[in-house]
Structure 1
């Protein structure tokens, strides 16, 4: 089965920009639109705007940090927003929690299971969080991984999910992507920023990789870069890195990515 390809953008672009962008993403044949949830950009509000102007585009949050937005508040926001649950993938993560993160995310999964029919995925960096995703959620969202590491972690997730739930968890992967060389300095700054975070720095060291080893395209070929993940994950999310982050840049990204992935 062909690996699905989606687009990821910051929720900070706002709902009005999402209303313009989402139909372009759907028309270009991408599976879904993932919105990062940040203090500057509410992913749920953005996805509500996207749902109003699309018919089948998958809508996803990547990811909502539960330390900032606990499950009860998130459920209330979902009810208020009217985002269609049958099209929603709700990605959650531990945010800035350092102690008890896995347990807190587990509690959030249980609360969300009782309150929404949306698919639940967990932003999973370490092995304990991946096990939680495999055993109690519908899947995991991986990030900052080269294809070989994605293959290893996805195989581990599927094995654990099959052992405990009797079904395979869905595995999606965020891949920072440029389609315009003018965006390379932005990409390099983002890679350096993540490499400065202790948890990511430790993960890169464990894997023996550099953050820039995980970005697309490698060697200038986006289609080949996506294909390299085909045997590993169910969905590749092209996290759009553009020269300015403007709506015009993001629209151009969608068009160029659609042309280059063919």
Structure 2
């Protein structure tokens, strides 16, 4: 059964994280994932979330290893409830990305007990993740390409247990569709994502979820965990807080 989670931007204010995290926990979602960006620190946000929750899993996805080494990340994880933390890492802009990932994961394994996930777009990074990580953080996949990615993950992992976690941009109202389209266009402008969309032959909008359409979430039930990154009409933090208060995005 696919577990459902919520994803928020790393730039979300500490005040809003304190409001959102208990709502996510009370609603029964599996994990609160926080992405790490130049303007947002995922581990700092998770520290705030840890203060106001007790059972919610806390995920960082993904921290670029060209900005923080695996050893540095492990040191910071010690300040969090390690039994609830899941650390997602990526290669960032590094030219020798696979070597950096392998070294970073080894440092994390040595420095902390938190499960390690790798954010991977291409087949080589995914094969490496299946071999050395606890799972893969997928992004911008259609239901069909997600099913293909999960089948390959199972094949590459063999007898190892490796989870497939898919991060999906979502909307909870028609008014948010222009903002969703803008987000898709922004990612399509990044060379690495554009190349991946071309390789898979998909339109980024086909990877998104309209939560008002029956069955739209269930179509992505091929992965182990589905992370709903809800895009709101204005991007205001209070919009997501109101949605969670109202019970949307839905878990049903």
TM-score using structure 1 length: 0.92
| 1:177-225 deviations in Å (ceiling 9; x for gaps) | 010222212111110011111111111111111110100028x42x512
Aligned equivalents of 1:107, 1:213: Cα separation in 2: 34
Query: Which of 150, 154, 157 is the aligned partner of 2:153?
Result: 157
Structure 1 gaps of 5+ residues are none
Instruction: Give 3-state SS (helix, strand or coil) of 2:228's partner.
Output: strand
**2:34 matched to which residue of 1?**
35
Q: By how many angstroms is 1:11 displaced?
A: 1.4
Instruction: Give 3-state SS (helix, strand or coil) of 1:41's partner.
Output: coil
**2:53 matched to which residue of 1?**
54
Q: By how many angstroms is 1:30 displaced?
A: 0.8
Pairwise mapping of residues 15-164 of structure 1 onto structure 2 (< 5 A)?
15-79=14-78, 82-97=79-94, 99-162=95-158
Structure 2 gaps of 5+ residues are none
Q: By how many angstroms is 1:46 displaced?
A: 0.7
Instruction: Give 3-state SS (helix, strand or coil) of 1:225's partner.
Output: coil
**1:234 matched to which residue of 2?**
224
Describe the shift of the 1:174–1:18 C-alpha distance in structure 2 as closer, same or farther (beyond 3 A): same
Q: By how many angstroms is 1:247 displaced?
A: 2.7
Describe the shift of the 1:199–1:181 C-alpha distance in structure 2 as closer, same or farther (beyond 3 A): same
Higher fraction of helix: 1
Instruction: Give 3-state SS (helix, strand or coil) of 1:96's partner.
Output: coil
Preserved CA contact (<8 Å) 2:36 2:62: yes
**1:250 matched to which residue of 2?**
240
Aligned equivalents of 1:24, 1:129: Cα separation in 2: 34
Aligned equivalents of 2:249, 2:8: Cα separation in 1: 18
**Which deviates the most, 180-189 or 54-63?**
180-189
